[in-house]
Amino acid sequence: MIRIEEISITEFRGIRNLTLKLGGKNFAISGPNGTGKSGIVDAIEFGLTGSVSRLSGKGTGGISVKEHGPHVDYRNKPDDARVVLKISISTLGQTVTIDRTVKNAKTPTITPQSAEITAILDNVAEHPEFVLSRRELIDYVLAAPGDRAREIQALLRLERVESLRTNLQRIANAAQKAVEPAKRERTSAVESLLSALQIPQLSQEKLLEAANARRTMLGLPAIAALTATTSLRDGLDSSHEKPAEQPISKKQALIDLQTARELIARIQDDSIKGQHAEITANLSALQSDPLVAAGVTREKLLADALAQAEEDTCPVCDTPWELEKLKEHIRGKLAELEEVAKKREAIQRKMSPLLEAAQRIDDALQRCEYHAKAGTPPLTVVSSEAFRLECRQRFEVIDRFVSLAETSSALEGLVVVPAKVVAELDAIEAAVKSIPNPTDADAARDYLTIAQERLERVRHAGMRLKKAEADATLADKVFEVYGSVATKALEGLYKQVEADFTEFYRFLNEEDEGSFSARLVPSIGKLGFDVDFYGRGYFPPGAYHSEGHQDGMGVCLYLALMKHVLESGFTLAVLDDVLMSVDAGHRRKVCALLKAHFPHTQFILTTHDDVWHRHMRTEGLIGNDGFARFRKWSVDEGPTEWDDRDVWAEIDGALGKHNIREAAGLLRHYLEYVSAEICHRLRAPVAFRGDGLHQLGDLLPSAVGQFRSLLKEGKAAEQSWGKTEAHDAIDVREKKVAEAAAKTLIEQWQTNPAVHYNAWANLQKEDFAPVVESYRALLALMFCPDCAGCYSVSPDRGPREGLRCTCGTTNINLKKKKGKG
Amino acid sequence: MPHTKPDIHDIPTTIFQEFIAKLRETDVAEEIIAALEKVILQEKAPTEAALRTALAPTEKTP
For residue A523, the tally of other CB atoms under 10 A from its CB is 13
| Polymer length of chain B | 62
The residue in chain B having the minimum alpha-carbon distance to the alpha carbon of residue A456 is B62
- What confidence tens digit (pLDDT) does each residue in A452-498 have? 999 999 999 999 999 999 999 999 999 999 999 988 888 888 899 89
Sheet holding A94-101, edge to edge: A15-21, A2-12, A82-89, A94-101, A109-111
Strand, helix or coil at A624?
coil
Percent of chain A's residues with pLDDT above 70: 92
Q: Which residues of A touch B32 (CB under 8 A)?
A: 474
> pLDDT band for position A524 (50/70/90)?
low
Q: Do A91 and B3 touch (CB under 8 A)?
A: yes
Q: Nearest Cβ partner of B28 from A170, A464, A474?
A: A474
Q: Do B11 and A161 touch (CB under 8 A)?
A: yes
What average pLDDT is seen over chain A? Answer: 85
For residue A197, the tally of other CB atoms under 10 A from its CB is 21
- What confidence tens digit (pLDDT) does each residue in A379-416 have? 989 999 999 998 888 888 887 776 777 888 888 777 78
Most A CBs within 10 A among B55, B58, B59, B60, hence the mutation to make, goes to: B55
Q: With 50 as the cut, is the pLDDT of residue A364 above it? A: yes
Residue B24 near chain A (CB below 8 Å): no
Calculate mean pLDDT across residues A577-604: 87
**Selection from A297, A290, A287 nearest residue A412 by Cα:** A287
Question: Which pLDDT value is given to residue A696?
Answer: 81
Instruction: Report CA-CA distances (Å) from A519 to A495, A541, A553, A556, A557.
Output: 8, 11, 13, 14, 12
Q: Please, where are the H alpha helices in A143-269? A: 145-155, 159-197, 204-217, 250-267
How far is B39 from chain A, CA to nearest CA, in Å?
11
Instruction: State the DSSP H helix or E strand holding residue A100, giving kind and residue range, or none if neither.
Output: strand A94-101
Percent of chain A's residues with pLDDT above 90: 34
- What confidence tens digit (pLDDT) does each residue in A622-665 have? 987 788 878 677 787 778 665 445 678 878 888 888 888 888 87
How far is A374 from chain B, CA to nearest CA, in Å?
29
Calculate mean pLDDT across residues A421-446: 89
Q: Which residues of B touch A464 (CB under 8 A)?
A: 62
CB A214 within 8 A of CB A448: yes
Q: With 90 as the cut, is the pLDDT of residue A570 above it? A: no
Q: Which residues of B touch A466 (CB under 8 A)?
A: 62
Q: With 70 as the cut, is the pLDDT of residue A748 above it? A: no
Q: Do A157 and B4 touch (CB under 8 A)?
A: no
Q: Strand A627-634 to strand A27-30: parallel, antiparallel, or no bridges (unpaired)? A: parallel
Calculate mean pLDDT across residues A121-146: 76
Question: Which pLDDT value is given to residue A279?
Answer: 84
Q: With 70 as the cut, is the pLDDT of residue A113 above it? A: yes
Residue B55 near chain A (CB below 8 Å): yes
> pLDDT band for position B8 (50/70/90)?
very low
Instruction: Report CA-CA distances (Å) from A717 to A726, A735, A814.
Output: 10, 17, 6
Strand, helix or coil at A17?
strand
A774-780: Cβ within 8 A, 24+ apart = A774/A740, A774/A743, A774/A744, A774/A745, A775/A667, A775/A671, A775/A744, A776/A648, A777/A740, A777/A743, A778/A704, A778/A737, A778/A740, A778/A741, A778/A743, A778/A744, A778/A746, A779/A674
Instruction: Name A179's Cβ contacts closer than 8 Å, sequence gap at least 6.
Output: A465, A468, A469, A472
How far is A141 from chain B, CA to nearest CA, in Å?
22
> pLDDT band for position B5 (50/70/90)?
very low
CB B44 within 8 A of CB A160: yes
Most B CBs within 10 A among A124, A156, A479, A482, hence the mutation to make, goes to: A482
What is the amino acid identity at position A490?
L
DSSP state, A555? H
Question: Which pLDDT value is given to residue A287?
Answer: 74
Q: With 50 as the cut, is the pLDDT of residue A366 above it? A: yes
- Please state the φ and ψ torsions of residue A366, each to the nearest 5 degrees: -60, -40
Question: Would you call the peptide bond into A70 cis, given omega within 30 degrees of 0 as the criterion?
Answer: no
Residue B57 near chain A (CB below 8 Å): no
Question: Would you call the peptide bond into A770 cis, given omega within 30 degrees of 0 as the criterion?
Answer: no
Sheet holding A811-813, edge to edge: A792-794, A802-804, A811-813
Q: Nearest Cβ partner of A485 from B8, B18, B55?
A: B18
Residue B9 near chain A (CB below 8 Å): yes
- Maximum separation of any 2 CA atoms in chain B, in Å: 53
Strand, helix or coil at A765?
helix
What is the amino acid identity at position A306?
L
Which A-chain residues 119-138 have CB contacts (< 8 A) with chain B? Answer: 119-120, 123, 127
How far is B2 from chain A, CA to nearest CA, in Å?
9
Residue A565 near chain B (CB below 8 Å): yes
Question: Which pLDDT value is given to residue A725?
Answer: 93
For residue A83, the tally of other CB atoms under 10 A from its CB is 29
Residue of A300 and B18 predicted with greater confidence: B18
> pLDDT band for position A429 (50/70/90)?
very high
> pLDDT band for position A548 (50/70/90)?
confident
Most A CBs within 10 A among B5, B8, B18, hence the mutation to make, goes to: B8
Q: Do A481 and B51 touch (CB under 8 A)?
A: no
How far is A292 from chain B, CA to nearest CA, in Å?
27
Please tell me the distance from the alpha carbon of residue A802 to that of residue A678, in angstroms, as a whole number: 15
Strand, helix or coil at A425?
helix
Question: Which pLDDT value is given to residue A34?
Answer: 83
Q: Nearest Cβ partner of A478 from B16, B46, B55?
A: B55
> pLDDT band for position B3 (50/70/90)?
very low
Instruction: Name A555's Cβ contacts closer than 8 Å, sequence gap at least 6.
Output: A132, A137, A504, A575, A578, A579, A590
Question: Which pLDDT value is given to residue A747?
Answer: 59
Calculate mean pLDDT across residues A736-751: 76
Most B CBs within 10 A among A168, A476, A495, hence the mutation to make, goes to: A168
Strand, helix or coil at A639?
strand
> pLDDT band for position A310 (50/70/90)?
low
Most B CBs within 10 A among A310, A485, A500, hence the mutation to make, goes to: A485
- What confidence tens digit (pLDDT) does each residue in A682-739 have? 999 998 887 767 788 888 889 999 999 999 999 999 999 999 999 999 999 999 999 9
Sheet holding A538-539, edge to edge: A518-523, A526-532, A538-539
Question: Which pLDDT value is given to residue A291?
Answer: 66
Calculate mean pLDDT across residues B6-22: 78
Q: Do A463 and B62 touch (CB under 8 A)?
A: yes
> pLDDT band for position A749 (50/70/90)?
low
CB A303 within 8 A of CB A334: yes
- What confidence tens digit (pLDDT) does each residue in A618-633 have? 888 998 778 887 867 7
Q: Do A164 and B16 touch (CB under 8 A)?
A: yes
Please tell me the distance from the alpha carbon of residue A341 to that of residue A591, in angstroms, as a whole number: 47
- What confidence tens digit (pLDDT) does each residue in A22-77 have? 999 999 998 888 888 889 999 999 999 998 877 765 555 567 888 888 998 888 89
CB A760 within 8 A of CB A643: no
Q: Which residues of B touch A120 (CB under 8 A)?
A: 3-4, 6
ipTM for this model: 0.89
Q: Nearest Cβ partner of B7 from A116, A310, A567?
A: A567
How far is A460 from chain B, CA to nearest CA, in Å?
7
Instruction: Report CA-CA distances (Å) from A724 to A152, A714, A738.
Output: 57, 12, 21
Instruction: Name A392's Cβ contacts closer than 8 Å, sequence gap at least 6.
Output: A362
Q: With 80 as the cut, is the pLDDT of residue A357 above it? A: yes
> pLDDT band for position A239 (50/70/90)?
low
Q: Which residues of B touch A490 (CB under 8 A)?
A: 15
Question: Which pLDDT value is given to residue A752?
Answer: 55
Q: With 60 as the cut, is the pLDDT of residue A324 above it? A: yes
Most B CBs within 10 A among A90, A96, A474, hence the mutation to make, goes to: A474
